[in-house]
Amino acid sequence: MTEALSEPPLPSPQLAAAVERVAGLGAKLGRSRDEVLDPETLHRACGVPLDVIRALLQGRAAGEPDIHARFRQRLDLLHETHRKDNGRKFSHGEIARESGISRQQVQALLGGDRRPTMDHCARLERFFDRPAGFLQSEDSEALGCVLAAIEKTLLQECQEHSERNALATAAPAGAGRPGLYERHGVDGIALRAALLPDQGRTRLLEWLDTYMDEHAAEEDPEPPGERA
């Protein structure tokens, strides 16, 4: 039973779906899968070891099931990579002074001699300017959070790209102000909607229905009974 619990977990279907969405958005922008899913970049962003990231991206079981081991690995990474302006690492005393944790506790946490409390994690995450949960979240969850941020950025880039293309093909100067679809295009509207919460998407769809009705009336103002 103990051995089964120590096995690395399989990636969730949600993580696999997020990987494919990011890769698909990257392709729309002319970027390769390796470019938008670069393991080194993901490693620095979420703190998950490189070999684990590569395995998770490929859909293989990976990750450290022990929360204390994850904490130590990510804290070591932060202590090594988060440097002062002069390029030097922060000393135990500097971390203690600015985080509010005693120097003895900082030394014990970095040395692996003490298990962290939630307060320790929160203070260290603030000191190293990392989001809540960075030091203890499961490897697949940590990677998923970074992929969500990348997906949002790519969605915004796709939206801007679509709007630029729509403007480039809009009516020439002097032909009147471009309409909604000319300014944003169908892809642009769809991408904008993807960034909204469920309630926002519902309001957008209702507004689009109203716009379509009004736009159709402007294009065909003649009552049906008066047509030739």
Specify the pLDDT at position 198: 65
**Residue 59: CB partners within 8 Å, gap ≥ 6?**
11, 16
The residues near 43 (Cβ < 8 Å, ≥ 6 apart) are 49, 50, 53
Which pLDDT belongs to residue 1? 35
CB 63 within 8 A of CB 56: yes
Q: Are 105 and 111 in contact (CB under 8 A)?
A: no
pLDDT number for residue 2: 39
Tokens of 47: 């703190």
Q: In 3D, which of 198, 166, 206, 41 has the Cα closest to residue 33?
A: 41
> What pLDDT shows up at residue 4?
42
* pTM score over 0.75: no
Q: How many other C-beta atoms can be found within 10 angstroms of the C-beta atom of residue 192?
A: 18
Spell out the alpha helix ranges (H) of 37-138. 39-46, 50-57, 67-81, 92-99, 103-111, 118-127
What are 83's strand-pairing partners? 89
Euclidean distance between CA atoms 175 and 11, whole angstroms: 53
- Look up residue 7 and give its DSSP letter: S
| pLDDT at position 64 | 73
CA distance 178 to 139: 47
Encoded tokens for 70? 């994850």
pLDDT of the chain, 228 residues: tens digit per residue: 334 445 677 778 899 999 999 999 999 999 999 999 999 999 999 999 999 999 999 999 888 778 888 999 999 999 999 999 999 999 999 999 999 999 999 999 999 899 999 999 999 999 999 998 999 999 999 999 999 999 999 999 998 888 877 777 655 555 554 555 555 555 556 656 665 666 666 776 676 667 666 655 555 555 555 554
Residue 176 near residue 205 (C-beta atoms within 8 A): no
- In a 10 Å sphere around its CB, with 0-12 CB exposed, 13-18 middle and 19+ buried, how is residue 43 labelled? buried
